[in-house]
Chains A and B, each alone.
Chain A
Amino acid sequence: AADSPGNELNPDGLAFETGHSPLGLNIFNPRNARSPAGLLYPPVMNSPGFTEAAETGWLYRGVLEAGYLGNSGTTDTGSFLEYGDLSEGFMLRGLGYEAIKPEEGKYFRLVSGAVGRDDSYYHVEGGQYGKMKLGAFFSSTPHTFSTNSRSLYDGIGTGVLALPAGIQAGESTAEDVRNYLNARPPRKLALQRDKSGALFTFDLNRQLQFHGQISSESREGTRAFGGTFSYPQVGQVIETIEPIDHQTTEVITGFRYVRDRLQGNLSYTGSFFRNEFESLTFENPGIPTFAGVYFPPQGQFALAPDNTFHSIRGDLATRFDPWSGRFNATVAYSVASQDEKLLPPTTATGIGGSSSYPVNLDNWNTVNALSQARADARVNTLTAQARYAVRPTRNLGVQFEVRVRDEDNETDYRVFNPLTGEYGYPALDGGLGTVKIGLGGIYRPSVPGSRVRIANIPPAIDRAHGDVSFDYRLQYGTRLNLRLRHQETDYAHRERSRVEDDEIKLEVANSSLDNAILRMTYIHVDRSGTDYNPNPYEQFYSSSFADFQPRFADGQVPHTLSALRKYDLADKSGQTLRAQAHILLSDKSDLQLTGSISDDDFEADFGLRDSRSLTLNTEWTYQFNKESDAFLYYSYQDRRSDVSNINDAGPIGSDPAPGGAVYRLDAVWSQAAKEINHAAGGGYQRAIGALTFEASYTYSFARSELGYDYASPRAFNNAYTQEVAGNAYPDQTFELHMAEASLAWPIRDNFTLRFFYRYEREDLDDFHYQGLVDPVLAGTIYLQAVPEDFSAHLLGTYLKFDF
């Protein structure tokens, strides 16, 4: 993945091609042909011909395009810089060289662009058709998140975030922090992703090919991260910055076997992820003030562990004579594992927790406090699939498919400290225990309600489906397809042990009309399953111990609202209708119309209740002649969903049902999400004498409306008035305009001058960041990485030399 040539100013990685060829393809037809599905082929691209190298049999061609890129506007924003290097200066926009030796089927090809820039790419490939291929590539992608973050810490980009001089751990005030941050310069949070690799294929004989690819991808930089030492609104919450220094090495190799009636693939994939930073330690400024609160001096994250993935896979396809039978099958077995050395449960020292329930952190800040030294985490997955298709009559096809995917999660971790003989861990480095004993994280048998984690929960999913489909070709170019599928999913440690999906899919396609091709698909899915247990997790908590004392005489504080249904497991009735019309308006014009409507009803009183969407697309293309064409498109999407929930009244009882003391009906609330998206655009290309003019425009607009309703202000703990709460967040909107134009002028035989202009503008309003001007709010310290709008012009002048 991510190894195709191209970047923001040349997405298709074109090197040789400029504009459209006046020659076209068919001298007998002034129009371009249509593909079998009726799509007008675009005009042929114009590219330089090959030159013969004297007496070698080699033909070659080369292009070099270089010039200057200028920009103006708000070009220092994260949104403008997101995925490209559009900085001002010299740009070697493209370099291409291709050599062929037709007599011997040999070829060599080099394509590169933005040489030396952060979004450069280099691809080289050569070989002999029918014998072998060798290739190598390098591709570079910047990913800028923001340029306006302000962080308190020193050591950004390393594994230790230290408070600066003047800000004392646990002793600073909001004012100290605010003053310090306001004086800090803004910082860029960005990654650089560089991927390089090499590949080969060797045709060992006419039937057998050996292939391989090795690639290495590095990601370096920083990105926003979180961090907390206590409950929201009580202890310190602080946005931190994650150091990124990742390396992923991937190896793919295997054999491909091809005979007339039998084909087989056998392949191995290995992926090895390495993270330079195993942990991130961050000091605690500790600004919130709650009498008696313990401020852990620092916290530590375990960053993504080094991990390894091995997969071996075999594919087979064959055909049989009776009824034109075709059979194909795949078996794949993979092992994903990691065995990182575990960090100690905390790095804090001394006595933490609350005065009533102190925790001697010195018993927890060592790896000796762990039940095991390494993660020893492993998931094995077996995937097997087979498909058998027959055509008993000329017009009837029948296809059977079965698929099984079994996951086996072998990760087994006991949350137990052999030094103290206690289960659990000091939650948030001791900071959470200050607030409520139940949240302290360490099991205390003498304390009622001391429910803490005692083991990891290893999720695993086994899924199988079987389906049969009938394909019937009626007269008049009409085709009917009916598919029936039954799928069963077995979950380990989820609210349902089994979920069953039954799906009916009906497709109709008609190509009998001279000037239109029509397709329509209807899908109905019904999901049901075993009883829904809202709390299947007790075996992983201390509440499963014999000596556990529930908080109340009649039981423990409920784990969750019993009537809520998680949507990946909830009963569901879903329908989707899709339609597509391709209309051949004339021999130079096409019109595409596609649409879909879907409605999923989750049959849940609480949780995600339903989700609906409507999508419409249209595109019109017109070819004036072989060299000039235009297109226009418009897309609309409307997505809606409804969610319902109850704000609990606190740990005051054990009833998990709606309407009980904990989940009161006067604290019920609901949210309705409505998302409207418009996208439109167009393009125009024409030849003006020897000149080629191209222009395009892209527009995108999105509005997310999130409204809410509530039975009473109990839904938000009476924290403010209904007038303040209102009934919706400010709309979240996004608007993009991008207009581009270029003019290519062949000033001499081998030289083409090209002028390029782009105007781009993005406006984003996201309520999550609205009003975030104070970096310290209610005890939380924010990076203030507020998304920024931009408006920018790019102007490029390039000279292309064909050699």
Chain B
Amino acid sequence: GMSGSVAQQSGLAIFEQRDFVGSDTCVTCHSAAGTQWAHTAHSVAFNSDINGQWGEAAGCESCHGPGSEHIENPAVTDSILRFTFDSPTPVVAQNQVCLGCHQGGERIHWFGSVHDRNDIACADCHNPMAEFSSSGLLARQGVNETCFACHQTQRAEFNRRSHMPLTEGNINCTDCHAPHGSVTSPLLQTTSINETCYQCHAEKRGPFLFEHAPVRESCTNCHTPHGSNHESLLLTARPLLCQQCHTMTGHVNDLMTRGNLAGGPRPDSRLIGRSCQNCHVQIHGSNHPSGADFHR
């Protein structure tokens, strides 16, 4: 087991031969930080030190390292570990301090993940110094705002005509994505795109008697998850979406034009309303013995 400062155990040389001064000493100067931090989960966890994990380091110095040299010359801010832009400590080393307690579990795939490889620091998304969010000690008001700080295209997409209820607060980015590392490229919580979608859309999981192959392959063959200008998060308008792949002999490959709109001379159910799905209702798969063409 570990005890003492997590920062020390990270192996950073700057902590050698320094002594702990205790949080009470720190807050004599850093009073605002002390007051704000007292509201946080870390404050309760460190103060109780229920597993005897931190000992005399419990509190500020658990993460920032022993403060004796900083006390001697407070103007030298680099004598304690800072988790900020002007910190001389490399991001990898900063993160190692957090991982001293938080490694494994949901962060088991952190190393080598896209955020790790791009030098994203724990402190870019989290700020445990105060209440910036309702939970999760995030650096911003909520999960979505935290992600949107860099992923701005997704913010724009979630304000489109069809979107999942993310801006409405019913879901958030981490319902589908695992920002701390994952076994998929888009950092999904599960091992595949479809498995992620089925968490909320379990009725589409099947497997069905008659499968629609691209559905089984990936929901994103037809849907774009972050927002669309088309119904039901579709990639493009129907029937064009279907006609990108389908041109079987018969009624499938007719060019639908303005003439087939509801107000046109030849209104056609292949274009109006739900388009192809007016008839091919069970496009995600059919369990009906007469459903090979997804009509039943």
Contacts and interface: CB of A to CB of B under 8 A. Distances in A.
A27 B28 CA distance: 11
Interface stretch (A126-134, A166-174, A350-358, A741-749): A126-134
Given A6-B170, A11-B142, A401-B112, A413 B209 contact: yes
Contacts of A648: 247, 249-250, 253
21 contacts: A2-B170, A8-B169, A128-B50, A129-B50, A139-B170, A206-B53, A271-B199, A332-B183, A342-B288, A387-B112, A509-B119, A564-B245, A568-B218, A619-B152, A702-B161, A715-B254, A734-B161, A764-B161, A768-B272, A770-B261, A785-B273
Contact of A130 (B53, B159, B244): B53
A457 B213 contact: yes
Given A26-B33, A41-B139, A770-B263, A302 B291 contact: yes
Interface in B246-296: 246-251, 253-275, 277-282, 286-293, 295-296
A3 B189 CA distance: 14
A27 B30 contact: yes
B109 interface: yes
B267 A228 contact: no
Given A21-B36, A35-B84, A481-B117, A258 B103 contact: yes
A342 B289 contact: yes
Contact of A257 (B32, B104, B199, B207): B104
B267 A778 contact: yes
A344 to B, nearest CB: 7
B290 A426 contact: yes
B123 A35 contact: yes
Nearest to B120: A37
Contact of A459 (B47, B217, B240): B217
A206 B237 CA distance: 55
Interface stretch (A64-72, A181-189, A723-731, A795-803): A723-731
Contacts of B124: 35-37, 39
Interface string B183-217: 10000010110010011101111111111011011
A638 interface: no
A583 B105 CA distance: 35
Contacts of A572: none
A772 to B, nearest CB: 4
B257 A41 contact: no
A700 B160 contact: yes
B68 interface: no
A529 B280 CA distance: 30
A346 B278 contact: no
Contact of B176 (A1, A82, A330, A507): A1
A667 B221 CA distance: 27
A716 B254 CA distance: 6
A84 B168 contact: yes
Contacts of A564: 245, 247
Contact of A1 (B118, B175, B214, B273): B175
B175 A4 contact: yes
B86 interface: yes
Contact of B165 (A83, A773, A778, A785): A83
9 residue pairs, one from A and one from B, having the closest CB atoms: A771-B263, A105-B48, A6-B169, A11-B169, A263-B104, A12-B142, A635-B156, A679-B156, A304-B203
Interface residues of B, number: 156
Contacts of B271: 768
A650 B83 CA distance: 70
Interface in A319-347: 319, 326, 328, 330, 332, 334, 336-338, 340, 342-346
Contacts of B117: 399, 469, 471, 481
Interface string A554-591: 00011111001011100000000000100010000000
Residue among A10, A313, A343 with the highest chain B CB neighbour number at 10 A: A343
Interface residues of A, number: 228
A246 B199 contact: no
A428 B218 CA distance: 28
A102 interface: yes
B207 A104 contact: no
Nearest to A783: B273
A617 interface: yes
Contacts of A332: 183, 191
Given A12-B141, A130-B53, A662 B281 contact: no
Contacts of A704: 229-230, 236-237
B25 interface: no
Interface stretch (A155-163, A230-238, A542-550): A230-238
A453 B292 contact: yes
B64 interface: no
A260 interface: yes
A207 to B, nearest CB: 8
Given A119-B170, A315-B108, A415-B292, A646 B247 contact: yes
Interface string B69-92: 000000000000001111100010
Contacts of A190: none
B108 A317 contact: yes
Given A377-B209, A646-B247, A675-B229, A258 B217 contact: no
Contacts of A479: 119
Residue among A17, A313, A559, A584 with the highest chain B CB neighbour number at 10 A: A17
Interface in A367-416: 370, 375, 377-379, 381, 383, 385, 387, 389, 399, 401, 403, 405, 409, 411, 413, 415
Contact of B36 (A23, A246, A263): A23
Contact of A317 (B109, B254, B270, B277): B109
B168 A104 contact: no
A677 B257 contact: no
Contact of B155 (A305, A315, A635, A734): A635
B249 A651 contact: yes
Contacts of B45: 105, 129-130
Contact of B262 (A104, A258, A344, A769): A769
A633 interface: yes
Nearest to A767: B261
B18 interface: no
B240 A594 contact: no
A777 B289 contact: no
Contact of A102 (B43, B211, B250): B43
B111 A328 contact: yes
Contacts of A342: 209, 287-289
A729 B41 contact: no
B131 interface: yes
Contacts of A734: 160-161, 229
A715 B51 contact: no
A16 interface: yes
Interface string B132-175: 11110001111111000110110111011100010111111011
Given A8-B168, A568-B221, 14 more contacts: A12-B142, A13-B169, A84-B168, A106-B44, A273-B205, A415-B292, A456-B292, A479-B119, A643-B240, A645-B253, A671-B243, A679-B156, A724-B265, A734-B160
B32 A24 contact: yes
Contacts of A217: 200
Contact of B255 (A224, A228, A606, A669): A669
Nearest to A634: B156
A459 B273 contact: no
A93 to B, nearest CB: 13
Contacts of A387: 109, 112
Given A237-B269, A383-B192, A715 B255 contact: yes
B279 A317 contact: no
Nearest to A84: B168
A516 to B, nearest CB: 12
B57 interface: no
Given A12-B142, A383-B192, A783-B273, A567 B245 contact: yes
Nearest to B224: A639
Interface in A102-136: 102-107, 111, 119, 128-131
Contacts of A415: 289, 292
A450 interface: no
